[in-house]
Amino acid sequence: MSTPVLGAKRLVGIIGDGPWRAPAFESLAAAVAAAITDGRLPVGARLPSERELAAVIGLSRTTTGRAYAQLREQEYILTRRGSGSIVQLPTVPGGRIDHLLSPAGADDTEIDLTCTAPVAAPDILGAYDRALSRLGAYLPGTGYYPSGLPVLREIIADRYTRRGAPTDPDQILITSGAFGGAAIAVRALLNVEPDEAARLGGARSTSRVLVESPTYPNAIATLEGAGAALVTYPLEFGPQGHHWDTDAMDQLMGQMRPRSAYLIPDFHNPTGALMGEAQRRDLANALRRHRVVPVFDESLVELGLEGGRMPSPMSALIPDSVTVGSVSKIYWGGLRIGWMRIPRHRVDHFASSRLGLDLGAPVLEQLVTVELMDSHDAVVADTRSRLRSARDLLAAQVRSWVPDWKLIVPSGGMALWAELPEARSAALSIAARNHGLRLVAGPNFAPAGGLDRWMRLPYTVPEPELEQVGPRLAAAWEEAKAMTGRGPTRRARIVA
C-alpha cells in the first residue's frame, strides 16, 4: 500500500501557523505531536521535508530541523534516507491496553470492538501544559480534595443549572469517572440508617435495585458486588428499536419494592435508546410514588448525533435522584474524571461513603478538565461529527456484509445494537478472534441471563478500521453458525 504524503500547506492547515511560543522548535514539535496523538495526522503518513515546511510556515530551516529531531527522539516520526519522515506512535512499555481488560493480550492486527471509548480529543496535550502552569498554586496544600476542586465543581453545577436542573456546587462530588460515581452512589444508597430501613419496610427491601436489561456490564458487577439484589426490567423492542414501558416499570416497582434503581435514559448503553419527555415524567412520578431513589447514568447524554432538543434531565423531574457523568466519552478515558449530582439532604451521607473508597480524584487531571471545559462546546461538536460519520459507516458495513442481521441505527451514543438471526453471539465472539476481530457477546449485558441473539458493535475505532469490519464480521458469522457449541456466556469485564 502506498504511503500517504502530506504537503507542507496541508500540514500547516492541520497544526496551525503560529505564533510559536519560544523556543519555536519545541512549540512546533508539540503541535505536530498533538496532531498525531489525537488522530489528525494518520500513522504511516509522510511529512513534508524540513526545508519545504520552513518555507511555508515562515520559520527557519534550523527551527524545523530541530523540531523534527525532537519528534524523532520522542518516537513520533521515523526518518529514513529516501523515505522521508513517517508518522508513528511512540512505543508504550507494556502496551496501550491494560492486561486486566484484554487478558489474552492485544494484537496490532485486531480490530477491538469491545469498548465504547474514543481516542483523546484535540488539545489534550495543550490542556495538560496549561494545567501544569496552574498546579503550583495547589502544591502548598495537602492535595486531598475528596469533594473535588471548587473551580471544577462550579463548572459542573453551572452546566446542570443551564440544562434546567438548578444545582449548587456543594451538590457536586468529583469522582474517578462515572463508574466510580455509580459505585459510591450504590454503596451509599444500600447502606441506609436503621430508622430509614424501617420506614422502607425492613432490611430486605433496601437491597433491591431496579436495572434495565440489557445494561452496562460493569454496573451489573458493581451492584452485585455491593450486595444488591437485582430487579430486572427488560426493555421493550419494536419496529423503532428499544423503548421503556413506564407502566410496566411502575407495576414492577410496586411488586418488588426496590430501594434504588440504576437507569440509563440518555442514549442507553448498549441499545442507544433515548427516553422521551412524556416517559420521563411518568417514570419520575412512579419512582416518587414507590419511594425509589434512582441513579441516572448520563455518560452519553451529550452524544446526540441527529441534532434537536434533548428531553429534560431526570434530575430536574425527580429531586431525590442521583446523576453521574464523566468526561471520558468526550475528552479521553485516561483523564478518569467524573462527577455525581446529589440531592442536598444526602450530600453528607454520600461524602462519608466516598471517604470509605478513596480520598478524591487527582488534582492535575481535574485542572486539565477545567482547561478543556473552556472549549467544551467545540469539542462536543467535533466528537458528534466524527461519531455520526463512523456510525453510518459501520451501519453500512453491517447491512452490506451480514444483511440478515436486524439493525436499527440509534440517534446517539457510541454503538450499534444488532439482533442476530440465531442465538449465537457467544459463539460469534469466539469465532471473531480467528478473523482479527474482538467482540463482546450479548449475554454480558444481561443482568438475568439471555440476550445471546444480540451483539454490541461500537463505532469508536478509526474509520480505516471500521472499513474492514464487514468482511471480518461476515467470515466470523459463517464460522459461528457452523460451531456445534455456542461457547461460554460468563460475563466479562469490559471498559465501557
pLDDT tens-digit profile of 453-484?
899 999 998 888 999 999 999 999 999 998 76
Q: Which of 57-66, 82-91, 248-257 has the lowest mean pLDDT?
A: 82-91
253 and 364 share one domain:
yes
74 and 151 share one domain:
no
Grid coordinates representing 464?
480505516
CA 197, 198, 200, 205 torsion-angle sign = positive
352 and 383 share one domain:
no
Report d(CA 329, CA 376) in Å as an integer: 12
Radius of gyration of the chain (CA): 24
Q: Give domain status of residue 93, yes or no.
A: no
pLDDT at 164 over 50: yes
Q: Give domain status of residue 135, yes or no.
A: no
321 and 418 share one domain:
no
Q: Give domain status of residue 494, yes or no.
A: no
270 and 311 share one domain:
yes
Strands 46-47 and 84-87: antiparallel
pLDDT at 396 over 90: yes
Report d(CA 472, CA 494) in Å as an integer: 21
**CA-angle at 137, arms to 139 and 32, nearest 5°:** 95
Q: Give domain status of residue 106, yes or no.
A: no
pLDDT tens track for 320-340:
999 999 998 898 888 889 999
Q: Measured between alpha carbons, how far is residue 482 from residues 170, 406, 427, 428, 435 in Å?
A: 58, 20, 9, 10, 15
47 and 149 share one domain:
no
300 and 314 share one domain:
yes
Find the mean pLDDT for residues 113-134.
85
341 and 394 share one domain:
no
Counting Cα atoms < 13 Å in the Cβ hemisphere of 26 gives 5
350 and 457 share one domain:
no
pLDDT > 70 fraction of the chain, expressed in percent and rounded: 89
326 and 265 share one domain:
yes
Q: Which of 340, 374, 408 lies at the terminal end of a domain, its last residue?
A: 374
Using a 10 angstrom Cβ sphere, with 0-12 exposed, 13-18 middle and 19 or more buried, the burial of residue 435 is middle
Find the mean pLDDT for residues 46-66.
91
Find the mean pLDDT for residues 54-58.
91
| Average pLDDT of the chain, as a whole number | 86
- Write down the pLDDT at residue 195: 52
Number of domains in the chain: 3
pLDDT at 172 over 80: yes
Q: Give domain status of residue 493, yes or no.
A: no
29 and 166 share one domain:
no
Tell me, what CATH number does 467's domain have? 3.90.1150.10
**What DSSP character marks residue 47?**
E
Q: Give domain status of residue 35, yes or no.
A: yes
398 and 368 share one domain:
no
Q: Which of 5-9, 131-135, 243-247, 300-304 has the lowest mean pLDDT?
A: 5-9
Sorting pLDDT into bands at 50, 70 and 90, what band is 496? low
The closest of 390, 490, 489, 474 to 432, measured between CA atoms, is 474
pLDDT at 105 over 50: no
Q: Give domain status of residue 492, yes or no.
A: no
Tell me, what CATH number does 67's domain have? 1.10.10.10
Match 496549561 to its residue by C-alpha cell. 130
pLDDT at 198 over 70: no
Which residue range(s) make up the domain with 259? 141-374
Report d(CA 170, CA 150) in Å as an integer: 9
Could you list the beta-strand ranges (E) of 131-235.
Answer: 172-175, 208-213, 229-234
DSSP string, 227-283: T-EEEEEEPEEETTEEE--HHHHHHHHHHH--SEEEE--SS-TTT-----HHHHHHH
Tell me, what CATH number does 254's domain have? 3.40.640.10
Q: Give domain status of residue 2, yes or no.
A: no
Q: Which of 308, 342, 374 lies at the terminal end of a domain, its last residue?
A: 374
